[in-house]
Amino acid sequence: MISVILTAYNRREYLKYALDSLKIQSVKNFEIVLITNFNFNLEGYKDLNIRQIIINGSIGEFIYHGVMESHGDILVFMDDDDTFTQNKMEYINDIFKNESIGYFHNYAFFMNSKRRFFLPPDFNSSCISIRKNILIPYMKYLNELITGPDSFLYLCALSSKYKSLNKRVYLTYYNDHKDSASDIKNDKTWLLKDLNALQYMKSFFNSDKSLKYLNKLILGIRIKLYLFYGEKFDRGARSSFFQFIEIWLYFFYTYGILDKKLKLMLK
């Protein structure tokens, strides 16, 4: 069974559209665990298997309660301001029939900007599906998470025995509005929060794959802090010039690092 973990913090204006996209799915064999910090009228969604949990807490606490209350062995994550294509649940159901796959990341249509030709496997929770048993050993850390849930989920998968799949199939509509994560992720305060969260994750993710990916993410944030805000960049943190180039290209193509500020610097 599939459980959709739908989180909504303050933004009730988008939630209707997320639920509407779940209402028209081509298959109905899934449940929805809705975690909010406000009451939402579900009168129009009686045909959905949905229950609401109202709490106050961090994003980690929201997801933690969603996972703990879920009944499915496959978890599909959804942010309140995103929507799904009509066939997403059907596609996810088929993907996880392959018992070797533990993590699946799909691509997204960007609703207010150009389509990205490459997305990293931890881009946006609304593109992520995972086997529940992969998360169980890390629930304590999930509950403490303040930022970076997307990367956390992928790192859990990298630390498991299962295969991870990042496939260019478009099953999510990503709402990149002014308050979305993509619009604030280059803010210095958010970059420092993400950096602290990733450094903390190194204390409990210890597989070679997860540590390698963590180091890439950490180096990428340090590059941004150096380029955008003049923060001291410890060049000794990278193992080689080629790794530097690899990380640079990674963030260039995935997070739009070449914004107006950087373009001016390169003139």
Render pLDDT for 234-267 as a digit per residue (tens, 0 to 9).
Answer: 555 544 445 555 555 555 555 554 444 444 443 3
Q: What is the DSSP string of 146-212?
A: -S-HHHHHHHHHHTSSSEEEEEEEEEEEE---TTSHHHHTTSHHHHHHHHHHHHHHTTT--SHHHHH
pLDDT score, position 263: 40
Is 246 or 193 the better-scoring residue by pLDDT? 193
Q: What is the overall mean pLDDT for the chain?
A: 87
Q: Classify 2-177 by CATH class.
A: alpha beta
Give the Cα separation of 11 and 217 in Å (integer): 28
What is the separation, in whole angstroms, between the first and last Cα of the chain? 54
> What DSSP designation does 235 have?
G
**Mean of the pLDDT values across residues 20-48?**
96
Give the Cα separation of 89 and 63 in Å (integer): 19
pLDDT score, position 227: 81
> Alpha-carbon dihedral of residues 256, 124, 111, 266, nearest 10 degrees?
0
Give the Cα separation of 40 and 50 in Å (integer): 12
**Best CA proximity match to 250, nearest among 123, 118, 152, 105:** 118
φ/ψ of residue 174, rounded to 5? -95, 120
φ/ψ of residue 110, rounded to 5? -90, 120
pLDDT score, position 90: 99
> Is the pLDDT assigned to residue 183 strictly greater than 60?
no
pLDDT score, position 177: 54
Q: How far is CA 129 from the centre of its chain?
A: 10
Give the Cα separation of 33 and 50 in Å (integer): 6
Q: Which of 18-22, 120-124, 152-156, 187-191 has the weakest average pLDDT?
A: 187-191
CA geometry: angle 95, 19, 87, nearest 5 deg? 30
Tokens 């903390």 belong to residue: 200
pLDDT score, position 229: 86
pLDDT score, position 267: 37
pLDDT score, position 11: 84
Domains of the chain by residue range: 2-177, 188-260
Percent of the chain at pLDDT exceeding 90 = 72
Q: Which region holds residue 10: left if phi is over 0, alpha if psi is between -120 and 50, else beta? A: left
User: Tens digit of pLDDT for each residue in 107-135?
Assistant: 999 987 666 668 999 999 999 999 999 99
User: Tens digit of pLDDT for each residue in 43-91?
Assistant: 999 999 999 999 999 999 999 999 999 999 999 999 999 999 999 999 9
pLDDT score, position 234: 58
